[in-house]
Amino acid sequence: MYSYGEFFRQYPEKAEVVAVAEPRDYFRNEMVRRHNIRPEYVFTDWKPLLDAPKMADIVIIASTDRLHTVPAILAAEKGYHILLEKPIAPTASECIEIINTVQKKGIIFAVCHVLRYAPFFKAIKDIIMSGKIGDLCSIQHMEGVGWWHFPHSFVRGNFGNEGKSSFLLLQKCCHDIDLLRWWVDKPCIKVSSFGHLKHFKKENRPADSADRCIDCILADDKCPYSAKKFYFEKLRQGRHQWPLDMVINEMTEEALCKALKDRPYGKCAYLCDNDVMDTQIVNMDFENDVLVSMIVSAFTPIGRRVRVMGTKGYLEGDEETIRTLDFLSGEWSEIQANTLAVDITGGHGGGDIGLIDTFLDAVGNNDPGLITTGPEVSLESHLIVFAAEKSRLENRIVTLAEIYNSNSIRTNYK
């Protein structure tokens, strides 16, 4: 929410924040302070905000995954245009219910698949569509969550337990499945998936470790997943934004010590209630004989890596540099994608600012066609994710026709 709020502060002529619903005192007060929100428009819960008379053109729903469905439906019924954080909802049926409602009400709706709006990923799309590498044959994609990001968000943090949030592939990688569907530009036919929670579990707990990192003799220099080492380094380096601001609001050593003693972010990474996969592979077969593989892993540097294979050329990229090889000439060319992105929010390589700017233009011009992550498109990529998780759980290949038929839906998206 702060990312989009910062855009509004930088470009007040485009939009202003008039109300906020936030149960956490610090974050609610920060929104009020940053945007001068009037007291009568400050809420501790989304319900009274949506019960009140319509007070704006747009609502941004950035609640936890399991609190998307009812607010999105009520906001649509009230006539708000909606920017909805990904994933749409934690189940296929809830996703379909939201999409049906927004389509029925005719509002402008976008899902925060911000990567489509980032220059690096847009450049890959442009190269594929240009024909420079010929007909698309296959894509190999890796979502490197990062050895420190995964314990922060998916072990100790908000997204570690499927019952409280959603499964890893949906929460973290619906971005990536959406990108792959966009690049291929053809429907997915069938998927298979395998995954494991390999490492972050009690039986892998190191000998002599403590229940909390702040008390652990391994924390300073013997454990790569030490919360004490990681968060204190951020604090002392003055890097007070995410992820540290998820742990403490007051940037002091005293506050951090207390948080690591009392809050989930200080627990041993092997003793949490996490149950989401730390490694998963998805294989997808698309129309026109295009094969795609994706791996998501906790055990990497942070960042995405992609290889695209065509009949006339090859592309590889790492979120900074895109390199292409022309088979006829044997020559490589290179694009420095990090020079393409200027993002005041610091988010997703320019994707955050690209998304909110496009969404506001779509609302301002009453032109939903400007949005590339609208309802039907985003529903289709989510259904691929649900098919992949069904494959993992049932240990079999799952067709998308099965998913569509079981939910009595169709898509016209090509």
- Predicted TM-score of the model (pTM): 0.93
Element (H, E) at 310: strand 303-310
Listed in sequence order, the residues at least 6 apart from 73 whose beta carbon sits closer than 8 Å to its beta carbon are 97, 98, 101
* Residues in a beta bridge with 294: 141, 282
284-331 per-position pLDDT tens digit: 999 999 999 999 999 999 999 999 999 999 999 999 899 999 999 999
Task: Give pLDDT, residue 5.
Answer: 81
User: For each of the chain's 414 residues, which pLDDT tens digit applies?
Assistant: 556 788 888 888 999 999 999 999 999 999 999 999 999 999 999 999 999 999 999 999 999 889 999 999 999 999 999 999 999 999 999 999 999 999 999 999 999 999 999 999 999 999 999 999 999 999 999 999 999 999 999 999 999 999 999 999 999 999 999 999 999 999 999 999 999 999 999 999 999 999 999 999 999 999 999 999 999 999 999 999 999 999 999 999 999 999 999 999 999 999 999 999 999 999 999 999 999 999 999 999 999 999 999 999 999 999 989 999 999 999 999 998 866 544 434 455 567 888 999 999 999 999 999 999 999 999 999 999 999 999 999 999 999 999 998 876 654 443
CA 80 remoteness from chain centre: 23
Task: Give pLDDT, residue 337.
Answer: 80
Task: Give pLDDT, residue 2.
Answer: 57
CA 215 remoteness from chain centre: 33
Where are the domain boundaries for CATH 3.30.360.10 in the chain? 135-200+274-310+375-406
232-264 per-position pLDDT tens digit: 999 999 999 999 999 999 999 999 999 999 999
- Residue 15, token pair as written in the block: 């939009």
Task: Give pLDDT, residue 346.
Answer: 46
CATH architecture label of 135-200+274-310+375-406: 2-Layer Sandwich (3.30)
Where are the domain boundaries for CATH 3.40.50.720 in the chain? 2-107
Nearest partner of 272 among 194, 196, 213, judged by Cα: 213
Task: Give pLDDT, residue 339.
Answer: 61
Q: Measure the CA–CA gap between 301 and 143, rounded to whole angstroms.
A: 10
Q: What is the 3-state secondary structure (H, E, C) of 337-390?
A: HHHCCCCCCCCHHHHHHHHHHHHHHHHHCCCHHHCCCCHHHHHHHHHHHHHHHH
- Residue 399, token pair as written in the block: 């067709």
Task: Give pLDDT, residue 340.
Answer: 54
Helix (H, G, I), strand (E, B) or coil at 145: coil
Task: Give pLDDT, residue 414.
Answer: 36
Nearest partner of 362 among 159, 187, 108, 18, judged by Cα: 108
Helix (H, G, I), strand (E, B) or coil at 20: strand
- Residue 387, token pair as written in the block: 């098919």
Q: Which CATH number fits domain 2-107: 3.30.70.1230, 3.10.450.50, 2.60.40.10, 3.40.50.720?
A: 3.40.50.720
Task: Give pLDDT, residue 406.
Answer: 86
Query: How many helical (H) and strand (E) elements, i.e. helices and strands, does the chain have?
Result: 13, 14
Task: Give pLDDT, residue 205.
Answer: 97
Task: Give pLDDT, residue 409.
Answer: 63
Average pLDDT in the chain: 93
Listed in sequence order, the residues at least 6 apart from 152 whose beta carbon sits closer than 8 Å to its beta carbon are 230, 243, 246, 265
282 close to 388: Cβ distance less than 8 angstroms: yes
